[in-house]
Amino acid sequence: MTQLSPVLKQATPVVAVRGEGLHLFDADDRRYLDFTSGVGVTSTGHCHPRVVEAVQRQAARLVHGQYTTVLHEPLLTLTERLGEVLPEGLDSLFYVASGSEAVEAALRLARHATGRPNVIVFDGSFHGRTMGAAALTTAGTRFRAGIGPLIPGVVVAPFPAAFRLGTDLGLSEEAAVEYALRGLDHVLATVSAPAETAAMFVEPVLGEGGYVPAPPGFLAGLRERADRHGILLVFDEVQSGFGRTGRFWAHQYHDGVVPDVLVTAKGLASGYPLSAIAAPTALMRKAWPGSQGGTYGGNAVACAAALATLDVIRDERLVENAAEQGRRLTDGLRKVAAGAPVVADVRGPGLMVGNEFCRPDGTPDPATAQRAQQAAAGLGLLLLTCGVHLNVVRMVPALVVTAEQIDEAVALWSKAV
Ligand code: PLP
């Protein structure tokens, strides 16, 4: 009998047969409160009626028209509509099907455009599992071990993980930013000279690296160095984008800082495989024709799902809801943590919330984090872990989550912890 690969490790034993809003149901119709959203993907909840309707309509008209052969209406309309939410100046889009593919597209563009070989990434980064994206990933050896050699030219600089640097080195948030920027300057002076450096790739909120937001001043510091040295600044918002953090893009918490390339996926199409890079047309033009592409890139049904997702986000004010419910969630979780010192830090922003588990001496405690996550699953609350040491339990409910569902999740979490 064939079976799924034994290396596929599931965080929960659930076999889902249907989903509705914040809930998944198994074959016995047991209901689970889903605070994982398929790893931050089903932004409008499971099977939002407007997304379902758009997908059904599109599937009956045209499923696939590969963009190197024919263009189609959903692709063109989506390109126009994304202009309403993208940072000014990023007026050119290229579509592929997954986050990793989009990261690879940004990597190819950066090397083509600058003619430089190296890329700087930051401690705790996760950019995907394809060989280029895995090379950019430092959120734990599990993503890289035994698959190398990976692509050369990747250099790692410090990320100002305020909680960890505060716990380990006693640094304030401000001092952590200074420490990280000095580390970057050192990398540029000693390992990867600006003339050799094509781009810096950064997540405005580390995702798999533990839900760690970049503190104020860090992205501005990167922007300043990128401008000074002619290095491209790439924001990977695959996990943090599309309203997840209570702003449309997480980098909008950093006043006025705009990337040269923005990478988006996950929440973009409510669960349909679609990703994109956005950049100024003059920059996008510097990729060699034919160097970018993917058979399923810009799939018509996925584009229709993305268009419906944009409508739902606007009409149901989901970015505002993410900010409001995110505050309610972090407030509730902080109350739980106050009575459970093993949860050493609770942090947002928005609906991208991490609970970091530590031992009394401040060292990471993955065993207790994983036990709490399992206990929550037993109570019907689905959660995931993340972090370099897998000691962070993350909560990423769909942006349609209600105050009652937040309160229910906090109550279940309190029991689990
Ligand atoms: N970049 C970030 C920030 C991510 O969080 C992820 C996935 O979790 C990826 C890239 C890779 O995306 P995918 O799994 O769709 O290839």
Cβ atoms of 231 and 177 within 8 Å: the answer is no
C-beta of 204 in contact with ligand 1 (< 6 A): no
Q: Which residues fall within 8 angstroms of residue 241, CB to CB, at 6 or more apart? A: 248, 249, 250, 262, 264, 266, 267, 268
Cβ atoms of 384 and 40 within 8 Å: the answer is no
Q: What is the pLDDT of residues 267-323, one digit of tens each?
A: 999 999 999 999 999 999 998 888 999 999 999 999 999 999 999 999 999 999 999
- If one looks up domain 52-315 in CATH, what number appears? 3.40.640.10
What's the rounded mean pLDDT across residues 126-144?
Answer: 96
C-beta of 237 in contact with ligand 1 (< 6 A): no
C-beta of 207 in contact with ligand 1 (< 6 A): yes
pTM of the entire predicted model: 0.98
Three-state SS annotation for 169-229: HCCCHHHHHHHHHHHHHHHHHHCCCHHHEEEEEECCEECCCCCEECCCCHHHHHHHHHHHH
Tell me, rounded to whole angstroms, the distance of Cα 274 from its chain centroid: 14
Number of other CB atoms surrounding residue 317 within 10 Å? 14
pLDDT at 204 over 90: yes
Choosing from 142, 206, 239 the residue with most ligand 1 atoms within 8 A of its CB, the one to mutate for a pocket test is: 239
pLDDT at 255: 86
pLDDT at 373 over 90: yes
pLDDT at 81: 98
Q: What is the CA radius of gyration of the chain?
A: 21
pLDDT at 61 over 90: yes
C-beta of 158 in contact with ligand 1 (< 6 A): no
* CATH T-level topology, domain 16-48+317-416: Aspartate Aminotransferase, domain 1 (3.90.1150)
Q: Sign of torsion, CA 176 257 98 116?
A: negative
Number of other CB atoms surrounding residue 72 within 10 Å? 20
Classify residue 43 by its DSSP letter. T
pLDDT at 288: 85
pLDDT at 11 over 90: no
Q: Which residues fall within 8 angstroms of residue 334, CB to CB, at 6 or more apart? A: 346
C-beta of 382 in contact with ligand 1 (< 6 A): no
Percent of the chain with pLDDT strictly greater than 90 = 96
Q: What is the pLDDT of residues 139-176, one digit of tens each?
A: 999 999 999 999 999 999 999 999 999 999 999 999 99
Copy the structure tokens of residue 154: 């990747």
What is the average pLDDT value for the chain, to the nearest integer? Answer: 97
pLDDT at 9: 84
Locus of tokens 């304030």: 172
Nearest residue to 206 (alpha-carbon basis) of 275, 138, 265, 124: 124
Copy the structure tokens of residue 3: 């079976």
Angle between helices 173-190 and 162-169 (to 10 degrees): 90
C-beta of 394 in contact with ligand 1 (< 6 A): no
C-beta of 347 in contact with ligand 1 (< 6 A): no
Cα first-last separation, the chain: 39
Domain ranges, ordered by start, for the chain: 16-48+317-416, 52-315
pLDDT at 10 over 90: no
C-beta of 99 in contact with ligand 1 (< 6 A): yes
Q: What is the pLDDT of residues 215-253, one digit of tens each?
A: 999 999 999 999 999 999 999 999 999 999 999 999 999
How far, in Å, is the centroid of ligand 1 from the Cα of 29?
Answer: 31
Cα gap 98→39, rounded to integer Å? 13
Burial environment of residue 326 by CB neighbours within 10 A (0 to 12, 13 to 18, 19 or more): buried
What's the rounded mean pLDDT across residues 25-38?
Answer: 98
User: CA dist 345 to 101, 169, 328, 333, 393, Å?
Assistant: 33, 16, 16, 10, 11
pLDDT at 21: 98
Nearest residue to 306 (alpha-carbon basis) of 46, 50, 65, 20: 50
How far, in Å, is the centroid of ligand 1 from the Cα of 359?
Answer: 29
How far, in Å, is the centroid of ligand 1 from the Cα of 83?
Answer: 23
pLDDT at 289: 82
Cα gap 272→64, rounded to integer Å? 13
What's the rounded mean pLDDT across residues 340-368?
Answer: 97
